[in-house]
């Protein structure tokens, strides 16, 4: 039984590989979006009204792709073995991994809100979205602050 439990940590490879594939796909999606956005900028000589939204979406795509990559690398580090990567990129326990995810969610929500700020013309809907994002962000930040290990 001990042997089986010790080797079961390699089951994490299923998630690690899946996340790595998802990260590659997201980076490829971001690259394709970069090319189409660049073409839009060049073709419209920078005058198309949707350029700002397209650029914000690019930031969002690459933030998500990077988050997935960080998760994949951190899960490998936690369950399989050491990696030669920058320290900021790796989580050394599950709490730290959740904290990294929380901060990335706050960033993605901020980028999405900025996108909606440009798109939405109804002030009340914009206010409601802003309040909702602020509440969720505050909860995630509080989790990171108050949930720290001593």
Q: In whole angstroms, what is the distance from residue 145 CA to residue 106 CA?
A: 14
**Which pLDDT belongs to residue 15?**
93
**Domain containing 31: what range?**
2-146
How much is the pTM? Answer: 0.78
* Count of domains for the chain: 1
Q: What digits encode the pLDDT tens for the residues 26-74?
A: 999 999 999 999 999 999 998 887 888 889 889 989 999 999 999 999 9
Residue 13: pLDDT band (50, 70, 90) is: very high
Residue identified by tokens 């009340």 is: 124
Q: What is the mean pLDDT of the chain?
A: 87
């Amino acid at each position: 039984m001990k042997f089986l439990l010790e080797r079961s940590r390699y089951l994490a490879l299923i998630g690690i590989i899946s996340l790595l594939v998802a990260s590659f796909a997201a980076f490829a999606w971001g690259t394709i979006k970069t090319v189409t956005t660049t073409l839009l900028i060049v073709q419209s000589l920078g005058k198309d009204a949707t350029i700002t939204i397209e650029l914000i979406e690019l930031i969002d795509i690459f933030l998500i792709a990077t988050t997935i990559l960080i998760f994949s690398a951190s899960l490998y580090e936690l369950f399989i073995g050491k990696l030669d990567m920058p320290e900021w990129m790796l989580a050394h326990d599950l709490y730290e991994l959740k904290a990294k995810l929380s901060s990335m969610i706050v960033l993605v929500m901020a980028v999405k809100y900025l996108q909606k700020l440009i798109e939405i013309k109804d002030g009340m809907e914009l206010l409601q979205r802003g309040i909702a994002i602020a509440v969720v962000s505050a909860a995630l930040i509080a989790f990171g602050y108050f949930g720290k290990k001593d």
